[in-house]
Amino acid sequence: MSMAIAVYCGSRFGDGPAFRACARALGRLIGVAGDTLVYGGGRVGLMGEVADATLAAGGRVVGVIPQALMDREVGHAGLTELHVVQTMHERKQLMATRADAFIALPGGIGTLEELYEVWSWQQLGYHDKPVALLNVDGYYDALLEFMRVSHSRGFVSDTQHEALMVDDDAPRLLERVRVAAAKATAPDDYSRI
C-alpha cells in the first residue's frame, strides 16, 4: 500500500554529512516504495535533499509553501505538485490533511514546532496518524531526554509518550511508520483547530 508521508526537516544542512545522507536515504526509500513525499516545498537545505532524492527514485512530491517564502525564491520548481498558500497555518493544515504519517528529520525551530503540533493534534484526537522522529547522529538526544523528564514529571501521559516513534535507522523507522499508518482508522478532524 502506497502512502503519503509528511517530512519535516531543516532548510539548512546542519554541521555534518550524516544529515544530508539521511535526508537523501529517506527520500530514496519513499520514492522507491512508490510513496508520496509531502513537505514544505523548499529547494534548500535538507528539504531540498529529501525532495530531490524522492523525485530521482520515481516518487511523487507534494510541496506546500507560503507565498512569502516563494517570494524569497526558495520554492522548488520541479515538484509533482506545488501549492502556494498565504499563511503558515494553511501550509501546516494542508500538509497534515495530505499526509498519512509524519516524520521529523533534524531541523531547527520550525521543524520542532511542526513535530510538536502534529503530535499535539494526535493527542487531542484530530488524527490518529503515526508521528515519528528520525534521530540522526544523536541530534535529538537532548530533546528525547527532556521528553523523558516531561513524562516522568507527569506532564506527558504514558500513551502520548509512547506514541512518538523514535529510531536512528531510516528503513526501520519507515517500516514501523508504514505498519502504524495501516492501522490508523479515525478520520481527520482539523475543523476545530
Domains of the chain: 4-181 (3.40.50.450)
pLDDT given at position 51: 98
| The three three-digit cell numbers of residue 6, written as one number | 509528511
Q: What is the pLDDT, as a whole number, of residue 100? A: 96
Residue 55 pLDDT: 98
Residue 1 has pLDDT above 90, yes or no: no
Residue 22 has pLDDT above 90, yes or no: yes
Under 8 Å CB-to-CB from 38, ≥6 apart: which residues? 4, 5, 6, 7, 62, 64, 95, 98, 99
- The closest of 137, 140, 75, 136 to 112, measured between CA atoms, is 140
What pLDDT shows up at residue 139?
97
* pLDDT for res 159: 94
How many of the other CB atoms lie within 10 Å of CB of 155? 11
Res. 192: pLDDT tops 90: no
pLDDT at residue 190 is higher than 90: no
For the whole model, what pTM was predicted?
Answer: 0.95
- Span 11-33, average pLDDT: 97
Percentage of the chain lying above the pLDDT 90 cut:
89
**pLDDT tens-digit series, residues 102-159:** 999 999 999 999 999 999 999 999 999 999 999 999 999 999 999 999 999 999 999 9
Instruction: Please give the Cα distance from 30 to 55 (Å, whole number).
Output: 9
Q: How crowded is the C-beta side of 64, counted as CA atoms within 13 Å?
A: 21
pLDDT at 118: 96
Confidence category of residue 189, pLDDT binned at 50, 70, 90 = confident
Give the tens place of pLDDT for each residue, 52-103. 999 999 999 999 999 999 888 789 999 999 999 999 999 999 999 999 999 9
Question: What is the mean pLDDT of the segment spanning 19-25?
Answer: 97
- Higher-pLDDT residue of 65 and 187 is 65
